[in-house]
Structures are given as structure tokens and as C-alpha cells.
Chains A and B, each alone.
Chain A
Amino acid sequence: MSDYFVVEPCQSAGGFEIRLSGKKIDIKKAEKVLSKIGTVAGSGPVVLLAKIKGLSLSVYGSGRMMVKGKLKAADAQAFAEEVVSALEKGGAMI
């Protein structure tokens, strides 16, 4: 699982950036998947915004995700694993 993505501090916006390696995200499918584990606040052709476990998550079609909120690196890693796993199982990773 861990070789699918990397998690690193996001310099420009605080929080953490999750990047999929060699995978993109189908935003429409991701919307269905993430609405089961959180609340989708809004979506467009290339981005969706979700609230999951009190954290704000932006998901981009390119395979990049930004998670913001009160969390440490270890929390971000666990959160990323949960989200990536859900997206993978839901067929939202392309």
C-alpha cells in the first residue's frame, strides 16, 4: 500500500500533501467513495472538497490530495492510507 503514495508537508498551504505514484483519480467515482466515509462539500471537473474525520481534504484529478487540519505527520500517514485504500477499493484510482 505505502508504495502507492507519498505524504509530505505542504509548503504553500500548511497541512500535508498526498501524491499518488503513477495513478490519477476519477473525481466522479471519488465523490461516491468519499461520501461514504465523510462529507463531500463541493466538486468540479478536476477537484473535490471533502470533510473527513474533521479534516479538510482536496482531491485533484492528477492524483494529488491536500489534507488540512490539526494533524501530525503520523496522523497524516494514517489518514492517507485510509483515503487511498477507500479510493482504490472504490475503483476511483485510474
Chain B
Amino acid sequence: MNLYTEKFARNRLTKKQQDILRASSFAIVGLGGTGGFILENLLRMGAENIIVFDNDRFELSNFNRQTLATDGSLDTPKTHAAAARAKAINSGAEIDSRGLFGEGSDLGGPDIVLDGSDNIKTKLLVSRSARAEKIPYVFCSAQSSRGIVTVFTIYRFEKAFHLPKEDALEKYRSCSDILCPAASLAGTLAASQAVNVLLEKPFIKAPQALFFDLFRKEIFWRGRLG
């Protein structure tokens, strides 16, 4: 028995499964509404190797939905708050902090990438990098009370969202009017899907996607992208 096994014993995973989670490398692009909850979930499941991409600092308008936004982290880089949070949960967790994920960025060789970014241009870049590195790309998005989660393995991101030419993507401005439960749920589902992929459990594979709307009577449904 050691601190790690005691902390994560209640995951109810086999030793082999927990070892896989512990040894796997995760990349998270964006540490905002969904990204913060992705990080929290991965840490609580025992992930120890996490690469994070974000060049932003916390501001007042983040507080309604971003779990890492606190009075103490206000005006500090989001990657710093992520590293501090990781160490507070598991001192063995290593956070590799990178800046903005943009054109020409390197994902850093993870086993899987989870997208917590808030704009379609970054999502496209991340999906392409994941495809180039032949690793699964966990997509999630939340807006208002709604969200989508899926995992891209072979199916192309561009096909799923009928994207216009790249120079037209600028007009697709991000929308940050999101309820905390929607950001939390999208991030949580994304983290769980990543774990399912790594542990070879069933997962939602694009073009299939899981949709939710917290304001609907039937909160969840499955649909097809593209």
C-alpha cells in the first residue's frame, strides 16, 4: 500500500487499469470552462502525466464556470493554477505547462488529447495534430445549457462540422455564455471518454456524438455529426 493506491483505491479499477491511467500521458488544450473540469476529473482518477496548453490568465468573467478560477488565481496564468491544483490533489502528478496551442504547435507526444478550447479554429488545429500523431482526439463543447462530446479516431473533424474555408473561421467567434453545470458535464464526460479509450472500454466514436441540454426533459441523446 502507498499513498497513490490509497488515494485512488475507490476508483474500483483493476491494478492493471489503474497502472494504465497512471502511466498514460494526457494533453488538455484549454483550461477554461470545460478544460478545468477535464483536468479535475483526470487528476481525481489518478492521471499523473498531463500536458496543458493555455496562454490566458483568469479574469472576473471566468468565475461563473471555470473551476480553477478563484480570488487567489485571479490575473494569474491558467497553467499555473492547473499545476497548483494538480499538486494539491496528487503530489506525484506532473503538469507540463505549455502556452497557446496554435499553428505549428506540438502536442508533446501524449497518448490522447482532450480539447477544452473555446473556438473552432483551435479545435480544428488540435484535431489535425491528433490525426497526424495518430492519437485519439476527445472533442467536447459547451454553450449555454447545451453540450456535445465525442471521440475522433478516424472520422475527420472537418467533415463532422462542415467547416468553411479556414480564412472564414475567424467569423466563428467563441461564445462563453455557459452554465457551470454544462461546462462541468461536458468536461467530465470528455475525461471519462478518454479513460474509456485508454482502458479499451466502449466509447462514443465520431461521427456518433453524445448531446445534452440541461434544460430539456430528456437531457441526453445521441446523434450523428456530418
Contact = CB atoms under 8 A, between A and B. Distances in A.
Contacts of A14: 176
A13 interface: yes
B4 to A, nearest CB: 35
B61 A66 contact: yes
B173 A11 contact: yes
Interface stretch (B52-60, B129-137, B154-162, B201-209): B52-60
Interface string A35-57: 00000000010110100000000
B71 interface: yes
Contacts of A46: 74-75
Interface size class of B (residues with CB under 8 A): 10 to 19
A47 B57 contact: no
Contacts, number: 41
B59 to A, nearest CB: 6
A12 B78 CA distance: 13
A39 to B, nearest CB: 17
Contact of A60 (B32, B59, B118, B176): B59
B75 A11 contact: no
Nearest to A12: B176
Contact of B118 (A9, A12, A44, A66): A12
Interface in B42-88: 56-57, 59-62, 71, 74-75
A13 B176 contact: yes
A49 B56 CA distance: 19
A56 to B, nearest CB: 10
Contacts of B57: 60, 62, 64
Interface of A: 9, 11-14, 44, 46-47, 49, 58, 60-62, 64, 66
